[in-house]
Amino acid sequence: MEPTLPPPVSWIKHIRWDSKGLVPVIAQEQGTNDVLMFAWMNREALQKTVELGRAVYFSRTRDKLWYKGEESGHVQKVHEIRMDCDNDVILLKVTQLGHEPGIACHTGRHSCFFNVLENGEWKSVDPVLKDPESIYK
């Protein structure tokens, strides 16, 4: 008897991918609604995210899948995946794991959005929670 194949992934065809086959992704912390980071996904990254229940992105600089937390241990557990009204941006509702409070940024901060424009200058307003030198070995 032939094994039956799973149904084709029809939900993914609704996403408007850019010319490089990528879609922008915002990771938002469930509960606080803090915007933690911005990244990109290709089809494989999004399918892996759905399959594993943890954030998998596509690194444009390394040209490969990036399993969030693979080096740092700062994994993002995905609770919900949303798509915007134009079908060209994905929002992940996540819990940031691996350190308390959660560290999403490679700088050792809770969020990648720690710079605020004040009086014509960028100021870092959020503390480093853990030295990046001790995170990445």
Mean pLDDT of 50-74: 95
Where in the sequence is the domain holding 26, given as residue range(s)?
Answer: 22-135
Task: Specify the 3-state DSSP secondary structure of 67.
Answer: strand
Within a domain: 119? yes
d(C-alpha 63, C-alpha 5), whole Å? 30
The reported pLDDT for the residue numbered 99 is 76
pLDDT at 119 over 80: yes
**pLDDT-derived band at 77, boundaries 50, 70, 90:** very high
Within a domain: 29? yes
Kind of pairing, strands 23-29 and 90-96?
parallel
The reported pLDDT for the residue numbered 75 is 95
How many other C-beta atoms are found inside a 10 Å radius of the C-beta of residue 19?
5
Within a domain: 8? no
pTM exceeding 0.95: no
Within a domain: 49? yes
Within a domain: 14? no
Within a domain: 105? yes
Judge whether 111 and 36 are in contact, CB under 8 Å.
yes
d(C-alpha 134, C-alpha 99), whole Å? 12
Mean pLDDT of 71-81: 94
- The count of structural domains within the chain is 1
CATH number at residue 52: 3.10.20.810
Within a domain: 7? no
Q: Which helix (H) or strand (E) holds 45?
A: helix 43-52
Within a domain: 3? no
